[in-house]
Chains A and B, each alone.
Chain A
Amino acid sequence: MAATDHALARPLNGQPGRLRGGLWLLLVALFSLPASAAVLPADRADVLYHSYEGGGVKIDGPAVLVRKSVTDDVSLSAQYYVDEISGASIDVQVLASEYAEERTQYDLGADYLLSKTIISLGYSNSSENDYEADTYSIGISQDFFGDLSTLSLSYAQGSDTVGKSTDPTFSEEKTTRSYQFGWTQVITKNLLMNFIYHVITDEGYLNNPYRAFRYLDNANDPSAGYTWLTEKYPETRTSHAAAVRGRYYLPYRAAFGFEYRRYNDTWNINAYNLDLSYTHPLGQHWILDLRYRFYSQSDADFYADLFPAENFQTYMGRDKELSEFTTHTFGVKVSYELDTGWSRNWLEKASVSLAWDLIQLDYDNFRDARRDDLTPGTEPLYEFDADVIRFFISAWF
C-alpha cells in the first residue's frame, strides 16, 4: 500500500510487557497511596462513520464501540474499526506503488476496580494484507488527595509483522514498547489540569517498504536527473513526549480547553503543538465545540528531499512525515443530546454528533516530485488540505 495511505491505516499500536524495576517501585507506591472513590467508565455504545480525504486519497469506514459493566467492579469494552482506502496519494503517483485496500482492527479491554484502584488490561489486533500488528497493554490509575489528584501508569507492547504486497517472501518484524505516566489535578473548582509523559521505543524494521528516496545521478548537474532507491532507516527509535493540558469552566456554563505538547526522538525530530478549544452548550440539547490546533516539527537527521549521491550517508529517507513542516487544524463539532429519562429502563441518554476538521499541511523541504518538467530540487514545495469528518451516534445505558 502506499506509504501515506499505509501510515494512516496503520493500527494503534499499544502496549505492555515486562515491567522493569523502576516501574514496579512506582506501582508499589501507587498501591500504598491512600485511596478514595475511583469510578469505572460509564456504560455506553458508539457507532461511528469516519472519513479522511486529502492529498489525493480517501480513507473511510465504520467503527463500533461497546462498553458494559458486568459486575460492580468490572467493566469490559470491545471495539471494531475499519479503514477503507481509495485514491492515490502523491507517493503512489510518484512511485507507482500498490497499496492495501482495507485495514481491520479489533480492540478488547477490561477495567477492574480493586480497592479503589483501577487496573486496565487491553489487547488490540490490526490486520491488512501486508501488515499484522498485535498489542497488549496494562495500566493502573488511582485517585487520592481527597479525589483531587489521579495518578496513572501504563505499559504497552506491540509486535508487528511487516509485509510487502509485491513480494510474498518479504517479512520483517518490529517491536514497540510504550511507557506512560499521567497526573490529573483539580486546581480550583473551575480548573482541571493534566500532565502526561510518554516514552515509546521501537526496534526492528522501521522502514516503510514502499517508500524510496531519490538521489542525483550527477551531484554537480541536477538537470542530469535522479534515481529512486528504497529507503534506509535506523533499526531503533526512542521518543519522548510531554504534554500539559487543562480545561477551565467559564461562568456561563461553557468550557475553555488548552494543550501544549513537546516532542523529541533519537532521529532528532523536534516538535510541538498548541491546541485551543471552546465548548458551548446551546439550550438544553445542543453542544457546540470549536477547536484550533497548530503543529510544527523539524526534520529527521537522515531526511532529505534530494540526496546528492547514492551512498551519501548511512541512513537515507524521504518520508514527508520526517520532513520539516507545520500544520493548522480548524475544527467544529455539533452534538444533539437527548436525556431520555428512561433510566428505569435500559437507555439513559443518547446523542448524535457531527464533527469536521480541516487540516492544512505545509511542507518546508518536501518537494512535489510529480513536476518532472522542472529541474530536480527546484520543484514547488508540497502542500495539501485534508477534511476529516466523523458522524456518530452514542447511547448510555
Chain B
Amino acid sequence: MRSYCVLLRCLGLRCSGLRCAPNRPLLLVSLLSGLLLTAGCSSIQPWVKPYERNNLADPIMSFSPDPVEAGYLHHVFQSREGARGAEGGGGGGCGCN
C-alpha cells in the first residue's frame, strides 16, 4: 500500500485510504516532468540519414536552380498581378506593385 501511494503521489494524486483525489499543482508538475523525461528518452531523431540523400542532392530537386531567371520571372508576375511576396528562392522580396 505504501509503494502504491508513493506511485500515486508521483503521478500527482493524493492517497487517502483507497481513494485518490487530484492534487492539481503536483499533477501538472508531474505531467510536465513526464513529458520532458519521455522526450529525453525518445526524442524525434532525423529520419533521413546522410547516406539516403542522394536523390535530394540531385540538381533537378533544387527549388531555384537558376536564380537570375527565377528572379526575373517573379518580377514579371509581381508586375502584372496584385499579389506579392513569398516567392521563394530567387525572388527579390520585391515590394513593388
- Which A residues fall within an 8 A CB radius of B? 7-15, 46, 48, 50, 52, 63, 65, 79, 81, 124, 133, 135, 137, 145-148, 154, 156, 158, 176-178, 180, 182, 184, 186, 188-190, 192, 194, 196-200, 202, 206, 208, 239-243, 245, 247, 249, 253-255, 257, 259, 261, 263, 265, 267, 269, 271, 273, 279, 281, 287, 295, 297, 300, 321-322, 327, 353, 355, 357, 359, 361, 386, 388, 390, 392, 394
Contact = CB atoms under 8 A, between A and B. Distances in A.
A337 B94 CA distance: 30
19 contacts: A7-B96, A12-B92, A13-B93, A13-B96, A15-B93, A63-B72, A147-B46, A148-B47, A178-B85, A182-B88, A186-B48, A240-B85, A242-B86, A247-B62, A259-B88, A269-B82, A287-B60, A295-B81, A321-B79
Interface stretch (B1-9, B10-18, B28-36, B51-59): B51-59
B73 to A, nearest CB: 7
B77 to A, nearest CB: 7
B47 to A, nearest CB: 8
Given A63-B72, A249-B55, A394-B66, A7 B82 contact: no
Query: How many B residues touch the partner, as a band?
Result: 35 or more
B21 interface: no
Contacts of A63: 68, 72
Nearest to B67: A65
Contacts of A259: 88
Contacts of B56: 186, 189-190, 192, 249
Contacts of B52: 189
Interface of B: 45-48, 50, 52-53, 55-56, 58, 60-63, 66-69, 71-73, 75-77, 79-88, 92-97
Contacts of B77: 295
Given A321-B97, A353-B69, A247 B61 contact: yes
Contacts of A52: 76
Contact of A353 (B66, B72, B81): B66
Nearest to A259: B88
A211 B24 CA distance: 66
A380 to B, nearest CB: 20
Nearest to A244: B86
Given A13-B95, A48-B68, A7 B46 contact: no
